[in-house]
């Protein structure tokens, strides 16, 4: 699992004007939800962009003055409705040996037989929602496409790992190889 350390500073005032001032100076107000208490803090936008503007999933290790280190995952990002700037970020604290539900990116691995014959590869799901114990967290799921030929599909039921439970319909299509127009014109239509 990818990890990133973030230095945060606790927010003392809880006013809209204060949050606006933070954003004007390049900081983003954040909150970390925990079972015991919620902590409001702020972080430099440039640091947050490293975990927000990527397909990867990061475990965040939050360090603040007079607080223990907190391990967390990104929960939600709030954007300004007009200019799409980040205005607030929510995290949730990770607890050891507890199940969480998270969306994990899918990465296609290999070279499809069908694509080498002129077929077109289509990925229908970019992420899969799974239930997993926090100690076994993944940053992505590899999808082996080596054996996919034209007309073949990979389904949720084709992915199995005892470390997690996939929360999708088992017959949902993840990826497939379709005949391209070039392939059909050459007379290879099935």
* Structural domain boundaries in the chain: 2-93, 99-185
pTM given for the model:
0.74
Task: Classify 24 as helix, strand or coil.
Answer: helix
> What is the pLDDT at residue 125?
94
Task: Classify 58 as helix, strand or coil.
Answer: strand
CA 15 to chain centre: 30
pLDDT, tens digit only, all 190 positions of the chain: 788 899 999 887 667 778 888 888 999 999 999 888 899 999 999 988 888 888 778 889 999 888 889 999 989 999 989 998 899 999 999 988 899 999 999 999 999 999 998 899 999 999 999 999 988 988 899 999 998 999 999 999 999 899 999 999 999 999 999 987 665 555 555 5
CATH number of this structure's domain 2-93? 2.40.240.10
80 and 113 Cβ atoms separated by less than 8 Å: no
Please give the CATH topology (third level) of the domain spanning 99-185.
RNA Polymerase Alpha Subunit; Chain A, domain 2 (2.170.120)
């Amino acid at each position: 699992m990818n990890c990133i350390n973030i230095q945060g500073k606790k927010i003392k005032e809880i006013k809209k004007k204060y949050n606006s001032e933070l954003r004007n100076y390049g900081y983003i107000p954040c909150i970390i939800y925990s079972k015991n208490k919620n902590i409001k803090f702020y972080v430099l936008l440039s640091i947050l962009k490293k975990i927000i503007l990527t397909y990867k999933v990061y475990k965040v290790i939050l360090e603040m003055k007079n607080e223990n280190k907190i391990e967390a995952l990104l929960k939600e990002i709030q954007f300004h409705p007009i200019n799409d700037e980040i205005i607030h970020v929510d995290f949730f604290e990770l607890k050891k040996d507890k199940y969480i539900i998270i969306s994990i990116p899918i990465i296609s691995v290999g070279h499809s037989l069908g694509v080498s014959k002129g077929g077109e590869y289509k990925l229908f799901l970019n992420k899969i929602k799974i239930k997993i114990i926090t100690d076994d967290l993944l940053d992505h799921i590899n999808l082996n496409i080596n054996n996919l030929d034209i007309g073949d599909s990979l389904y949720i039921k084709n992915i199995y790992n005892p470390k997690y439970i996939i929360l999708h319909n088992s017959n949902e299509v993840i990826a497939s190889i379709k005949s391209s127009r070039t392939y059909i014109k050459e007379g290879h239509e099935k």
